[in-house]
Amino acid sequence: MPAATPRVNDFTIKIGTVNGTGSASANTLLMKSLFRSGIPVMGKNYFPSNIQGLPTWYEIRVTRDGHVARSGSVDIMVAMNAETYARDVKEVAPGGYLVYDSTWPRPALLKREDITVFGVPLARLCNENFNGVRTRILMKNICYAGVLAALLDLDVARIRELLAETYAKKPQLVDSNMKAIQLGYDYTRANFACPLPMHVQKMDGTGGHIMIDGNTAAALGCLYAGATVAAWYPITPSTSLMDAFKMFGDRLRVDAQTGRKNFAFIQAEDELAAIGMVIGASWNGARAFTATSGPGISLMNEFLGLAYYAEIPAVVFDIQRVGPSTGMPTRTQQCDLMECAYASHGDTRHVCLYPANPEECFYMAVQAFDLAERLQTPVMVLSDLDIGMNDWMCPDLKWDDSYRPDRGKVLSKEEILKLEKFYRFIDKDGDGITARTLPGVHPKAAYFARGSGHSQYGAYTEDSAEYQQVLDRLLKKWATAKKLMPRAVIDATAGASCGIVSLGSCDGAIREALDVLRARDLGVDYMRVRAFPFGEDVEKFLAAHEVLFVVEQNRDAQLRALLTLETEVDKAKLRSLLHYSGLPISSSFIVEGVLAELQPRPEIEAQGAARG
């Protein structure tokens, strides 16, 4: 047994259960009671593509320093699933703890000498105190929350307060849940030395923050941006974005007098139709969006090309999941970077935004509509399952009441009347963006939107020069887009020659890794790109560093590929750190990856030399 040094508010708990047994409410309860006690937390849900029966895990990182990524190790394991006991036991870090249901003896669990094992007869306790199979299973999971409360010194009153809020309309559930909590709590206090050296202490680290998932935040952004048409086809992990939009719409977008809804919500027959509806609605002057994942983007390719060429705004959220093909639908990756950037046949390129957390999902949702309408082109917001479906602690979302949407160059009736004749694709301002008109305004402004070859007058053409003129003007628009994109976030120390380049949900892990690396006196700069096309700031950062680690969550180094294609960077400078297991990237993965390159052990160098 290793010596017990106290570790307050800095450890990771992992809970292994069976899908569909109600563990989600126990885990949420634990997370929220920590958060309400002022302790920063991170929660990650590793769930199966299944409704009931497959293993599922939930990881809670108690992090007084406010880290938002996985640490990479597990200190306390609650092993509730017999099927995964073996691997769960193996995963506990030396000096850690294991809690299991001792209703059934598991001598094999005690084989590890370097961890402490607590057996709590959860099933027996619940069988003795509750009736009905379903209730007993559910309560067994609530019961482990009580065990953890005792071990970690969690405030039980806080838990009761949360239960009372959750079950405000069903008070009898508060009592039964509380009873289960108490059973676990009392048994643990009576049989083990509580609290553990690893425990929690109230602090003041969560003020001005919320716990929210990225899909909910993005949906709020769409609502606040004034989106009125939402069309979609269900696909994990994007569905909750649309569910949230509907929920908020039903509450905040209903006319008080008439009861009518100031939005259209359309469940499409497939993703092809969903993007078609978005394009039709945007063409007709509404702010419209869809949410999908990689397989949906594959299906939307044809229409995305049309919107690019016919110059129609569209906002698409891609909540990335593990590919290729169906892949692992409930695991996370950043594997659609190339797909989204160049979706569709022919010379097409699309504006992409890369939020790093739920907070940015909210603000970038608004930005996406402004950019789509300003640039008259599809804008894709590339979130991922980790951001979209996990609850993240982030600063309160703020809304500026003076915000007004940028509807771009849409001619009013008065402007149309002043024109001698309207031509859809004549570049009057020299920025590559041409004025459009909406149906129903004036017959003089009518034009024909089409995906076939067209001249700057908007007419069908098969004339090479006329075709090329439009295609070249689209490049000019692309150059304008570069200037309008959100800037990269750059963390530069003086004189570092080494930098990390990354995007999206890698951010939290990288920022934590930077702290570790800098504490070792390794000067490492960091640039998080937030949009495609890349701007001047990205070029400058790439040029200013000799070694660049490109950190991303896919196998094929897609961000690195985009950088080599779309910037002037010398490819040889870019070294990849690729994480594509389907779990969110951890800080330790990055620290180890950078150290392996910067401080190579002699044998690795020798091997490298032998390979040539």
Tell which one of 204, 401, 414, 420 touches other proteins (CB under 8 A): 401
CB of 119 to other proteins, least distance (A): 36
Tell which one of 6, 171, 324, 439 touches other proteins (CB under 8 A): 439
CB of 254 to other proteins, least distance (A): 8
CB of 433 to other proteins, least distance (A): 19
Phi, psi angle pair for 558, to nearest 5°:
-70, -35
Nearest to 403, CA basis, from 449, 463, 460, 362: 362
CB of 446 to other proteins, least distance (A): 5
* Contact set for other proteins, span 277-296 (CB under 8 A): 277-286, 288
CB of 312 to other proteins, least distance (A): 9
Residue 162 is a binding residue for other proteins (CB under 8 A): no
Nearer to other proteins, 82 or 438 (CB): 438
State how far the Cα of 505 lies from the Cα of 515, in Å rounded to an integer.
17
Residue 547 is a binding residue for other proteins (CB under 8 A): no
Nearest to 62, CA basis, from 215, 218, 217, 195: 195
Nearer to other proteins, 118 or 308 (CB): 308
Residues contacting residue 39 through CB under 8 Å, at least 6 positions apart: 9, 62, 64, 200, 201, 202, 203, 205, 206
Residue 59 token pair? 């990881």
Nearer to other proteins, 124 or 450 (CB): 450
Binding region for other proteins (CB under 8 A) out of 2-10, 44-52, 301-309, 568-576: 301-309
Phi-psi region of 468 (alpha: psi -120 to 50; beta: other; left: phi over 0): alpha
Residue 568 is a binding residue for other proteins (CB under 8 A): no
Residue 522 token pair? 């390794």
Nearest to 301, CA basis, from 241, 341, 243, 266: 341
Residue 602 is a binding residue for other proteins (CB under 8 A): no
Residue 224 is a binding residue for other proteins (CB under 8 A): yes
Residue 266 is a binding residue for other proteins (CB under 8 A): yes
Q: Which residue has the tokens 């690396």?
A: 517
State how far the Cα of 384 lies from the Cα of 331, in Å rounded to an integer.
9
Residues in the chain, how many? 612
CA distances from 606 to 87, 577, 596 (A): 34, 21, 13
| Beta bridge partner(s), residue 58 | 15, 45
Nearer to other proteins, 132 or 259 (CB): 259
Residue 409 is a binding residue for other proteins (CB under 8 A): no
Q: Does the N-terminal peptide bond of residue 486 adopt cis geometry, omega within 30 degrees of 0?
A: no
Residue 460 is a binding residue for other proteins (CB under 8 A): yes
Binding region for other proteins (CB under 8 A) out of 14-22, 148-156, 431-439, 527-535: 431-439
Residue 155 is a binding residue for other proteins (CB under 8 A): no
Tell which one of 449, 488, 513, 585 touches other proteins (CB under 8 A): 449
Residues contacting residue 254 through CB under 8 Å, at least 6 positions apart: 260, 261, 262
Helices within 5-102 (DSSP H only): 23-36, 85-91
Residue 434 is a binding residue for other proteins (CB under 8 A): no
CA distances from 384 to 17, 316, 357 (A): 24, 13, 9
CA distances from 99 to 78, 180, 191, 585 (A): 5, 16, 13, 26
CB of 9 to other proteins, least distance (A): 19
Binding letters toward other proteins, positions 125-144, x by CB under 8 A: --------------------
* Contact set for other proteins, span 461-490 (CB under 8 A): 461
Could you tell me whether strands 524-529 and 489-491 are parallel, antiparallel, or unpaired per DSSP bridges?
antiparallel
> Cα 425 vs. chain centroid, distance in angstroms?
37
Residue 160 is a binding residue for other proteins (CB under 8 A): no
Nearer to other proteins, 293 or 437 (CB): 437
User: What count of other Cβ atoms lies within 10 Å of the Cβ of residue 609?
Assistant: 8
Nearer to other proteins, 22 or 226 (CB): 226
Residue 13 is a binding residue for other proteins (CB under 8 A): no
3-state secondary structure of 405: coil
CB of 220 to other proteins, least distance (A): 7
State how far the Cα of 354 lies from the Cα of 352, in Å rounded to an integer.
7
Residue 169 is a binding residue for other proteins (CB under 8 A): no
Residue 259 is a binding residue for other proteins (CB under 8 A): yes
Binding region for other proteins (CB under 8 A) out of 217-225, 373-381, 539-547, 592-600: 217-225
Q: At what angle do helices 464-484 and 358-375 cross, to 10 degrees?
A: 150
538 within 8 A of 527, measured Cβ to Cβ: yes
Tell which one of 54, 110, 272, 496 touches other proteins (CB under 8 A): 272
Amino acid, single-letter form, for residue 539: E
Nearer to other proteins, 367 or 586 (CB): 367
CB of 154 to other proteins, least distance (A): 18
Nearer to other proteins, 438 or 547 (CB): 438
Interface with other proteins: number of residues (CB under 8 A): 80
* Contact set for other proteins, span 302-321 (CB under 8 A): 302-303, 306
Binding region for other proteins (CB under 8 A) out of 78-86, 247-255, 518-526, 585-593: 247-255
State how far the Cα of 607 lies from the Cα of 598, in Å rounded to an integer.
16
